[in-house]
Each structure stands twice: as structure tokens, then as C-alpha cells.
Amino acid sequence: MTAFPLPAAAPAAAPVAPSLVLPQRPALLGRAGWLAVFAALALACVVVPALNLLVPPDSPLHLDGYWISLLGKFCCYAMCALAMDLIWGFAGILSLGHGLYFALGGYAMGMYLMRQIGTDGQYRSTLPDFMVFLDWKELPWHWALSDSFLATMLLVLLVPGGIAFVFGFFAFRSRIKGVYFSIITQAMTYAAMLLFFRNETGFGGNNGFTDFKRLLGLSITTPGMRMTLFVLSAVALVGCYLGLRWLTRAKFGRVLSAVRDAESRLMFCGYSPLPYKLAAWVLSALICGLAGALYVPQVGIINPGEMSVANSIEIAVWAAVGGRGTLAGPIAGAFAVNGAKSWLTQVAPEFWLYLLGALFVAVTLFMPDGIAGLVKRKLGRKKESSA
């Protein structure tokens, strides 16, 4: 019998490895978010200037200059709340010393404004009045660049950023965290405040800097300059919000969240938390420094009291009340808390600190997600009821 050869079996196909699908980067903002941003910019850049500069003072629609300065201050405070939210809400690092970076930016701007006074001071000297009073004959070395606006703007960022980098590098490399880290930041701010209180440091001592007259050669007290500073503060706030939202929705933000939730597990995955924590820490200091530089010409004074421990704690309260890890929440928290402070300190100033402490405790216990979490729950219930 003839044997017929069997057909050769086809080679087995190699198993196809499933393709790895990476999650797409979410959009920066939705339609409602962009509408809110453009509405805020239109309000700050068009509506408020028109109500202040174009509407007659006797009109009920006129917005007084007091409110312009107050809103400008609130914008600067909201920038500090954003900075706190970056390190506390996303990285889980609670700082009780960010008032230091805010004050350093303010002092850098204040030195420039003091030099802009020229010979219009009380003693008609090119030296600031407090130096003449202390019988100083020349400017200290750290005032060398204070007559240049460009150098001042660099110092506004470099001084807070440099100090934050040095402190953060050694603190994070030593793996100091939790309450110990918070206490160290508080102690550092208090030490800096005591240093700036001393007259020999050249920062005005207890009185600080005041009696500003000009900015870039223009009078600082005119309605137009006041409005310009407010608009710059509002635009800077929106810019910081959009920049931090872009950053926190990228890989950098996801790693920061991993640092907050499970830092040890993140290290086992091959990531070093140090550069991410340090970058977030320095960036938050830069934002606070910029806020301080915008704050000083609007309020007309900067002194060591801005470095007080209470001021740094208030920054944390703004972020907690608004809602940590949301960015928009701390902005709302800063405006809400400072609005209540402005009203209560006029009506019953002795009760403000008690209310602030009670507010922080109440938010921590009963509303841990802050204003942002409350709004989300309300919107979620509306959607469920309409479905």
C-alpha cells in the first residue's frame, strides 16, 4: 500500500501581546470651566474698571477705590491659597510658614518702592527715612539692586525661591514629614520675623517700609495706578490657576498625588519623591513671592508682622475652607474667609480669632472637602434628581 505524505502543519501563530493603552491626558477645562475663567477676566478687566473709572462717584453703581484695593488684596491672598493647595492638597505637605515667602516678595518690592521716593521723604535724603533716622551714611550691600525694577522683579522670585530650595532640599532629603515638618516651617518663619524686627538688618525694623509715592516713575496713589495693580493681581491669579491646573493634570500632578497617598509604595515603583516634592515646594514659594510683590503697593506698607505665625496659619485655613486638591476651592476659600474677616473686624474685632479657630475645626470635622466638596455634592444631587 502506497503511503501518501500528510500535509505539513502550519506553524503556530505567535501570541500577540495586548497593546498597552495609556490614559489620555484630560482636558485643561471643560466648557463651563472656560466660561467661568473668561467671565472672571471680563469682570476684572472690563466691568470693575468701568464701574470705578467711568461711572460718576454719585451714582449707586460706582465702585469706590476702597473696594478696588480690597479686591486686589483678596486676589493676592488667593494666590497664596493656590500655592498652599499645590503642596498640601496635592503633595500632602502642610506648611505653616508660607507667610515667609509672601513677606520676602513684599520686602523685595518694598525696597524698590522706598528707592522710588527719592528726595521726597521727610529728611530730603536719597536714603530711606529710617536709615537717616538711624544715622546711616550709605545703603547696605543688599540694597544694591533696589533701584532697578527689572532686578527687583527677579529678586521677588529668586529670594523666596532660593530660600525654599535650600530649606526644602535638606528637609526632604532627610525625609522630615508630617507634624515635624510643619513645626520646622513655623519655627523658621518665626525666626525670620525676629530677624526682620532688628533695626541693624536694614529692613526698617518694627515699622518696615511705608510712605510709598511712585512706581515706575508714576504716582502710586492715583485711581489709574490702583486699578492697574488690581487688574495685574487678577490676571496673575487666573494665570497661576491655569498653570497649576495644567501641571497637576499632567504626570507631575499624578506623582504628587502618589506622594500624598503612598510615598513608600511610590519609591518601590522606582520613583524618587525628592525632585517632585522640591519642585512643588519651590514653585509654591515663587507664587507666594509674586503675590507679596503685588500686595505691597496696593496696601502701602510691609512690616515683619506679615511673617507672623498667625498669617501663615490663615493661608492653610483658606485652602482647607475652600477644599484641598481642587485649586478652585482655595480661591473661593480665600475670598470667603477674608471677606468675613473684613466685615467682622469692623463690627466685632475681638471675636475674629475665635471665629477663625472655630471655622478651621468645623471644616476639619464636618466639611473636610470644603466649599468645593459641598458644591460638588449639591450638583450631584441635582443631577440624580433630574435623571
Which pLDDT tens digit goes with each residue over 29-85? 888 889 999 999 999 999 999 999 998 888 888 888 899 999 999 999 999 999 999
pLDDT reported for residue 129: 87
3-state helix vs strand vs coil in the chain, percent to 5: 70, 0, 30
User: Is 86 within the bounds of a domain?
Assistant: yes
Quote the pTM value.
Answer: 0.90
In angstroms, the CA 142 to CA 139 distance is 8
The answer to whether the beta carbons of residues 316 and 96 sit under 8 Å apart is yes
Show the cell assigned to 157: 522670585
User: Is 261 within the bounds of a domain?
Assistant: yes
Give the C-alpha distances (Å, rounded to integers) separating 231 from 49, 68, 237: 8, 9, 10
Residue 233: pLDDT over 90 = yes
pLDDT in tens, 304-337: 999 998 899 999 999 999 988 899 999 999 999 9
Region 142-169: what's the mean pLDDT? 94
Hey, what amino acid is at 36? A
Residue 12: pLDDT over 60 = no
Residue 16: pLDDT over 80 = no
More confident residue, 233 or 377: 233
The answer to whether the beta carbons of residues 96 and 182 sit under 8 Å apart is yes
Task: With H, G, I as helix, E, B as strand and everything else as coil, classify residue 64.
Answer: coil
Show the cell assigned to 369: 472637602
In the DSSP assignment, the letter for residue 128 is: -
Structural domain total, the chain: 1
User: Is 339 within the bounds of a domain?
Assistant: no
User: Is 281 within the bounds of a domain?
Assistant: yes
User: Is 124 within the bounds of a domain?
Assistant: yes
User: Is 81 within the bounds of a domain?
Assistant: yes
Does an H or E element contain 341, and which? Answer: helix 328-347
Residue 25: pLDDT over 80 = no
User: Is 82 within the bounds of a domain?
Assistant: yes
The answer to whether the beta carbons of residues 52 and 63 sit under 8 Å apart is yes
User: Is 327 within the bounds of a domain?
Assistant: no
State which residues form the domain around 266. Answer: 66-309
